[in-house]
Structure 1
Amino acid sequence: MDMKPVLIFSGTTEGRKLAYRLAARGIPSVVSVATDYGAEVMEPHAGVEVIEGRMDREAMAEAMRRRDFLCVVDATHPFAVLVSQEIKAACEHEALSYLRLSRSAQSKSPEPGQDAAAVWEEELQQKGRLHFFDDVKEAALYLREREGNILLTTGSKELRRFSALLDDEKRLYVRVLPSIEAIRACEEIGLCGKQIFAVQGPFSTAMNRAFLKHADARFLLTKESGEAGGYPQKLEAAACEGAVALVLRDPERGSSDVERMQEQDLYERIISLSGMEQEVKDYAPALRCLTIAGMGPGSRMERTRKVQRALEQAEILFGAETVLKALSDLATPKEAVYRAEEIAAWLSAHPKIRRAVAVYAGDIGFYSGASGLQKKMQTLLSGNGEQGGTWTVQVLNGISSVSYLAGRLGICWQNAALLSAHGRRCNVIGHVRTHGCCFLLLSGVSQLRQIGAGLEQASACGILGTIRIYVGYQLSCPEEKIWQATTEELQRLEAEGLYTLCILHSDGDGKSLLPGIADAAFQRRRRSVPMTKEEIRTLALCKLRLSRHFVLYDVGAGTGSVSIEAALCCEEGFVYSIEKKPEACELLRQNQRRFLIDNMEIVEAEAPDGLDRLPAPTHLFIGGSSGRAEEIIAKVQERNPQVRVVMTCVSLETLGELKALMRRYGDQAPELLQLQVSRGKTLGAYHLLEGQNPVFLLSFGGEKGIAESISSLEPEEKEGGRDAKPGN
């Protein structure tokens, strides 16, 4: 039975620690934080899910209804009184247990048995330099009547209200979290750069003293926030620097409305609710984090804030040499490795490393060298925990070249075909033919010139309508260029580098997606090379039930009419046209050039000979077998037992083969059709029907598991592909 999760409304160090401690015990948690900064400081951990965004009572209740939670923990700041009230009310509405996590008011002291905060409170009171207030308004009115600079350490939430009551922002120096939201709040009340200390704690006494000196502060405004909030260190700094400490009282102190529990007590309560036995020893292994990050097109300005933060906090950066070169602004040590096994070996040899980042260019979810890396790294690192702690792997996506170029061009790309010809086969003409907008990632200028020649030929043959081509070169880098080019200009380019194309095709979205090319469109030799006629061809393709990434063997391909129609049906599939007659192979090549088919390869061989060197098929069409149909099917089914088979025959001799095949493959639901097609023709004032040869069509197989077989046959993205270089 799965363990119910705990919903934790966090925002404090105690909340984070509790989530990790519960996860180590096998109790999952969902941690709700109000800001993106709150999400960033949460270390990734298996069993800990983070949700981000401010919530009102209704939103909290909705979040509680989404899961079957064990209980709800309120680990928000003690001064976030309204938030706590909303959480408690939502829990009451949803009939969930509400547990309030309290910050410890006790703090360490040089003297055993003493409370450090109490010691410094007593010293400051003896000197008349300690005052308590119930709220910000009281403190602001007190300061308004006195001169001297103020170091405010109570956060940004009530900064606007405090500044308005003080009515003299020049006296004010504030210490806030390094978040955009907090800094914006400071700027909105008119504070300049030297008055803003945007830093993340904890702060020692020495650091607090340094802030007081820098601000030349006579007053220190703080909250009664306990040891976790650095309250004793602030009081000690004020005592040492001769400052007056102004303290906002803990609004929950003395309240009897809610039971406030220390971390250990609350942890034990949750263990009890879960039905687990209490631990004899509570041990949570240390956390180590590997981040797989996409750095965007290349420049520092195009890195996301989360990626930049991960890079700055890392102790080691992994990546291809070209990627690491683009990270020259970072002083962090770097290792030019990017394969999973190499990264795992390096980390195993350096057990003291706790934060590592494997960096790839662009967006790691889009034709990336990091494809499948997260799962692989988690498996490889699972055995390293005993040496230095438990590894977790997180993924941070970057900005892809497609979204970058689309933004620069002002083009909507939600319906575009997204393609990569970097280190992989790509049917560019086929995609452009059927899409109004295509984005294409390329590996270099030679490939760009080849595509320019192909597009020029397709336009000249009438395969394509009017096209517009936009070129992005070294996107986001200092040498970036974006311009509109012709196919002729593409073929003349010489500068090496990474290119991204946007191709707009006026007729792309209007192309037919169904088979049915007229017989007259194909080059033919009627006597020596037979052709599957249009009506039979259309039905045969329907019976094949081609899927998106099909691999089709067309055995006895003849003129290639079935091969070409299949290739045109789906530009992401691939056809192997197998033909033994040299004359027919030449005709196949003529028709392939005529229709500019890239996703088709002609194999001159007599099947089943020559099939072993080809990728396993998902579909098989037999238009001519020379009496070896049973051998061919048996050979193909060795490669893929789930292959879908369609076979046609005209002669009585081949009909005998069909009968034998139906007996052999009776468990695969064979279907036999006899087709008679008549075509209308005009003879003078009359319209007559001219009968065609009757055709038998047999189909079977592929009914179960065809999706799985296609998935298993898809090629994996090459590790260290285009995203191993800056510029994708």
Structure 2
Amino acid sequence: MNRAQAKLIGIGMGTMETLTKEAVQAVVQSDCLIGARRMVEAVYRAGCRSKAVYYEYQPERIREIITAHPEYQKIAVLYSGDIGFYSGARELYGALKECCEVRGIPGISSAAYLAARLKVSWEDAKLLSIHGRRQPYIYILARHRKTFLLFGGKGQGEEFVSRIREYGLTGLRIWIGRSLSYEDETIVYRTGADIRPEDLDGLVVLYIENPSPLPGDGVSIRDDAFIRGNVPMTKEEVRAVSIAKLGLSGDFVLYDVGAGTGSIAITAALHEGARVYAIEKKDEAVELIRQNKRKFCTDQVELVKGTAPGVLKDLEPPTHVFIGGSSGSLEGIVRCIIEKSPGAKIVLNAITLETIKEVLLAEEKGLLVDVEIIQAGISRAKKIMDYHMLAGQNPIYIVSAGAGGRRGREIQ
């Protein structure tokens, strides 16, 4: 018997008019139709039928259905929109590669459809989905002139409106597409100031324009741009060297331990793939981090109130760690990091020799590897009468290392 062929089909908007001819033919000729109930009912309304139907969308369960029924030689698996745009098809390709031949049939995505209806291009827009998932989007909306956002989930409308107001994005221009391609299709215009939770009920697609986007990835922030209060802050030049030593790139998870005003956490979060945890125990500092997070629209920063290492235990494993203050618990913090993520990159700042002594002791015990210690001495020119005099700031030790356990060295 020949190997079965599974076709992963993007059904577009779910109407006959937006189904491609190839998709219709694949469904009609199939022995077995698999998809979420909403997808199956959509192609049935469009007049397409198949011999056997399974309401399923989990990749492993779909694979089990196919392997349990060798009599099905032509399988059609349905996905909304396009199979390459926030689709479960990506996981299914891997799940099915050993049991059958797999082929994809593209469809019309909701973003492409809405763009056409609004007469706008989408090649220069950011594409994002929070349908059935939680992820930061304030950072994206604040920094991109054009964004398409797939929406849909219980309580998301109220949360979206609340966060838009919290982060001051009331100037956004928002078009809301609902029931696209159906007879009751509506496209409603709102601003960030007047959008309401009920505007976002159900499955909708948003096209959002930001007339005044913030600077994008990797920009530096001047010290005087932060809300400061009376909390110590890692200064601009030391911050730049420390961030460089961390070597942040791609998608990363950073702990900022002893975050203070949040200057390291906020600066690190100016990367689209960032997930940052700002750990701070002091009430005034916690409030300053919250204010700076709002000011710079960095919703990828999660504020964790408490003392390390205790509060680190329930966080996801880090790829990078910055320690601005350890309160004498450096060894405990490093041991916690090793347990969660051996080999994570660690950078810490110190102003006392006692902290450096802790670092060297941690190196002796195998807790820190590849230790590098540099000292930064920053001076600023000040004008005194007709002269410019350099005034030195306190020297700072900047330590970079890897969390032990990477090379099999015994940890004491």
Same fold by TM (over 0.5)? Answer: yes
For the 8 Å contact 1:453–1:488, the answer to whether it is kept is no
RMSD of aligned C-alpha atoms? 2.6
Match of 1:441 in 2: 150
The equivalences for 1:210-249 within 5 A come to none
Alignment match, 1:408: 117
Distance of aligned partners of 1:514 and 1:684 in 2 relative to their CA distance in 1, 3 Å threshold: farther
Q: Is residue 598 from structure 1 mapped to residue 296 from structure 2 by the alignment?
A: no
Q: Please give the secondary structure, in 1, of the residue aligned with 2:343.
A: coil
Residue pair 1:367, 1:420 contacting (<8 A) in 2 also: yes
Note the C-alpha offset of 1:286.
2.4
**Are the structure 2 counterparts of residues 489 and 326 from structure 1 closer, same or farther at C-alpha, using a change threshold of 3 Å?**
farther
**Which letter maps to 2:127?**
L
TM-score computed with the length of structure 1 as normaliser: 0.52
For residue 563 of structure 1, report the CA deviation from its aligned partner: 1.0
C-alpha deviation, 1:470, in angstroms: 2.1
Please give the alpha-carbon distance, in whole angstroms, between the structure 1 residues aligned to 2:373 and 2:223: 25
Match for residue 518 of structure 1? Answer: 222
Superposed counterparts of 1:165-176, under 5 Å: none
| Alignment equivalent of 2:322, drawn from 608, 612, 621 | 621
Q: Distance in 1 between matches of 2:97 and 2:216?
A: 45
Tell me which of 315, 330, 334 is aligned to 2:48. Answer: 330
Deviation track 1:644-692 (CA, whole Å, cap 9, x = no partner) reads: 1111101121121233345556994332211011122334444332221
Gaps of 5+ in 1: 1-284, 383-390, 706-728
State the match for 1:254 in structure 2.
none
Q: Displacement, 1:482? A: 2.3
- 1:558-707 matches, within 5 Å, as 558-567=260-269, 569-663=270-364, 668-701=369-402
Tell me, yes or no, if structure 1 residue 301 matches structure 2 residue 17.
Answer: yes
Determine the C-alpha separation between the residues in 1 that align with 2:155 and 2:219: 34
With over 3 angstroms needed to count, the CA separation of the structure-2 counterparts of 1:444 and 1:488, relative to structure 1, is farther
Question: Secondary structure, in 3 states, of the residue corresponding to 1:589?
Answer: helix
In structure 2, distance between residues paired with 1:495 and 1:536: 44
Alignment-derived partner of residue 426 in structure 1: 135
Cα distance in 2 for partners of 1:490, 1:512 equals 25
Cα distance between partner residues in 1 of 2:95 and 2:218: 40
Measure, in 2, the Cα distance between the counterparts of 1:505 and 1:445.
Answer: 26
1:474 touches 1:497 (CA, 8 Å); kept in 2? no
How far the C-alpha of 1:626 sits from its partner, in A, is 1.7
4+ aligned runs moved over 6 Å, structure 1: none
The question of whether the paired residues in 2 share the 8 Å contact of 1:608 and 1:631 is answered with: yes
**How has the CA–CA distance of structure 1 residues 591 and 481 changed in structure 2, closer, same or farther, with 3 Å as cutoff?**
same
Q: Which residue of 1 aligns with 2:410?
A: none
What letter is aligned with 1:319?
G
CA distance in 2, matches of 1:602, 1:393: 44
Q: Report 1:138-157 matches (<5 A).
A: none
The percent of aligned pairs where both chains have the same amino acid is: 38
CA, structure 1 residues 637+445, in 2 after alignment: closer, same or farther (shift >3 Å)? Answer: closer
Alignment-mate amino acid for residue 304 of structure 1: T
Match of 1:477 in 2: 182
The answer for the alignment partner of 1:101 in structure 2 is none
Task: Give how far 1:607 is off.
Answer: 1.5
Cα 1:344–1:512 shift into 2, 3 Å: closer
SS at match of 1:698: strand
Q: Which amino acid aligns with 1:295?
A: I
* Cα distance in 2, alignment partners of residues 358 and 296 from structure 1: 13
Structure 1 CA distance, aligned partners of 2:305 and 2:341? 22
Secondary structure, counterpart of 2:335 in structure 1:
helix
2:208 alignment partner in structure 1: 503
Three-state SS of the structure 1 residue aligned to 2:101 is: strand
What is the 5 A alignment of 1:310-459? 310-328=26-44, 329-332=47-50, 333-379=52-98, 382=99, 391-444=100-153, 446-459=155-168
Secondary structure of 1:477's aligned partner: coil
Q: CA deviation at 1:406?
A: 1.9
Residues 511 and 595 (structure 1), Cα distance of their counterparts in 2 relative to 1, 3 Å cut: closer
- On the 8 A contact 1:672/1:697 being kept in 2, the answer is yes
Q: Which whole-Å deviations, capped at 9, do the CAs of 1:176-211 have from their partners, x for residues lacking one?
A: xxxxxxxxxxxxxxxxxxxxxxxxxxxxxxxxxxxx
Contact 1:515/1:538, CA 8 A, preserved across alignment: no
How does 1:4-403 map onto structure 2 within 5 Å?
285-328=1-44, 329-332=47-50, 333-379=52-98, 382=99, 391-403=100-112
Secondary structure in 2 aligned to 1:617? coil
In 2, the alpha carbon distance for the partners of 1:444 and 1:459 equals 23
Tell me if the contact between 1:415 and 1:437 (Cα under 8 Å) persists in the aligned partners: yes
Instruction: Give the AA of the match of 1:522.
Output: F
Instruction: Determine the C-alpha separation between the residues in 2 that align with 1:494 and 1:440.
Output: 14
Aligned letter for 1:373?
L
Give how far 1:562 is off: 0.9
Shift in Å, 1:599: 0.8
Structure-2-length-normalised TM-score: 0.88
Please report how far the alpha carbon of residue 520 of structure 1 lies from its aligned counterpart in structure 2 after TM superposition.
2.8
Structure 2 residue identity aligned to 1:648: N
Structure 1 pair 663/413, CA: closer, same or farther in 2 (3 Å)?
Answer: farther
Tell me, which stretches of 5 or more residues in structure 2 are unaligned? 407-412
Report Cα offsets for 1:152-189 as digits up to 9, x if no partner. xxxxxxxxxxxxxxxxxxxxxxxxxxxxxxxxxxxxxx
- C-alpha distance after superposition, 1:668-727 (max 9, x if no partner): 43322110111223344443322211000011339xx9xxxxxxxxxxxxxxxxxxxxxx
What is the rounded CA distance, in whole Å, between the counterparts of 1:559 and 1:303 in structure 2?
A: 53
Q: Hey, what does 1:115 align to over in structure 2? A: none
Which has the larger share of helix? 1
Match of 2:243 among 533, 541, 554: 541
Q: 2-side partners of 1:557 and 1:459: how far apart?
A: 24
Specify the structure having the higher radius of gyration (Cα). 1
Shift, 1:495, TM fit: 6.6
Which moved further from structure 2: 353-362 or 633-642?
A: 633-642
Tell me by how many angstroms 1:515 deviates. Answer: 4.3
Q: Secondary structure at the match of 1:674?
A: strand
Q: Distance in 2 between matches of 1:660 and 1:378?
A: 51
The C-alpha deviation readout for 1:567-604, integer Å capped at 9, x for no partner, is 1x213311111123344323323333343431111222
2-side partners of 1:431 and 1:498: how far apart?
20
Q: Aligned partners of 1:627 and 1:688: how far apart in 2? A: 36
Question: What is the distance in 1 between the residues matched to 2:147 and 2:219?
Answer: 23
Distance verdict in 2 for CA 1:511–1:592, change over 3 Å: closer
In the alignment, residue 49 of structure 2 is paired with which amino acid? Answer: A
Give the distance between the partners of 1:663 and 1:411, measured in 2 at CA.
61
Shift of 1:492: 5.3
Note if contact 1:445-1:499 (Cα within 8 Å) is conserved in structure 2.
no
Could you list the per-position Cα deviations for residues 465-490 of structure 1 after superposition, in whole angstroms to 9, with x for gaps in the alignment? x5332222122222222243212442
